[in-house]
């Protein structure tokens, strides 16, 4: 079953609900039912956080290594350099999200302006 499997106008909405909304919401509801019955620092929650973090990291990698559209027109070294540069400055200057985001953008723009 794919996003464009059927021609019905409502199919993509159903697809979005089943493939995206429900798999996200079940964890929130599970949290509501399990609260108070489970230790939030328990060992298997550490495992869960590791897997969830790994998945988001894979999404980040896709933006840098295999982007679509406009970002794909920029060379890999520029995307990598801006990402690592921004993140490095973020780590070095007291871990402010805004600083990291801003510096990554500044590096990306400077790279585009200088070399393209």
Partner 1 sequence: MVSSISDRGQSYEEEQSYDWSWYVWGARNLFSLPALILLSAFVGFGGLAREAGLPLAHLVFLVPTIWALPSHLILLAGIVSGASLFAIAPAVALAAIRMMPMTMALIPEIRAAHTKRWHLLLVSNLVAITAWVHTLQKAKDIPRRGRLPYFVGFASTMAITTTIAAALVHQLAPSLPSAVMACLYFLTPIYFATTIWNTARVRAEHLALGLGFALGPIAVWLLPQASILIAGLTAGVIAYGIHRLTISKSEQA
Q: What residues between 9 and 48 interact with partner 1 by CB under 8 A?
A: 12-13, 15-36, 38, 40, 45-48
Say whether residue 54 binds partner 1 (CB under 8 A): yes
To partner 1, the closest distance from the beta carbon of 77 in angstroms equals 14
HSE toward the beta carbon, residue 50, CA cutoff 13 A? 5
- Number of residues located near partner 1, criterion CB under 8 A: 75
To partner 1, the closest distance from the beta carbon of 37 in angstroms equals 9
Among 7, 8, 70, 115, binds partner 1 (CB under 8 A): 70
Which two tokens mark 15? 């697809």
**Cα–Cα distance measured from residue 93 to residue 99, given in angstroms and rounded to the nearest whole number:** 8
N residues, the chain:
116
CA proximity to 83, closest of 59, 103, 57, 53: 103
To partner 1, the closest distance from the beta carbon of 83 in angstroms equals 7
**Cα–Cα distance measured from residue 109 to residue 67, given in angstroms and rounded to the nearest whole number:** 17
Say whether residue 115 binds partner 1 (CB under 8 A): no
């Amino acid at each position: 079953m794919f996003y464009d499997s059927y021609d019905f106008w409502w199919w993509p909405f159903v697809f979005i609900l089943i493939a995206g909304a429900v798999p996200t919401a079940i964890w929130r509801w599970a949290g509501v039912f399990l609260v108070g019955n489970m230790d939030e620092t328990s060992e298997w929650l550490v495992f869960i956080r590791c897997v969830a973090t790994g998945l988001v990291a894979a999404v980040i990698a896709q933006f840098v290594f295999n982007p679509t559209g406009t970002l794909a027109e920029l060379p890999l070294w520029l995307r990598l350099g801006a990402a690592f540069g921004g993140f490095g400055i973020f780590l070095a200057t007291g871990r402010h999200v805004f600083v990291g985001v801003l510096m990554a953008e500044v590096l990306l723009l400077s790279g585009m302006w200088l070399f393209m």
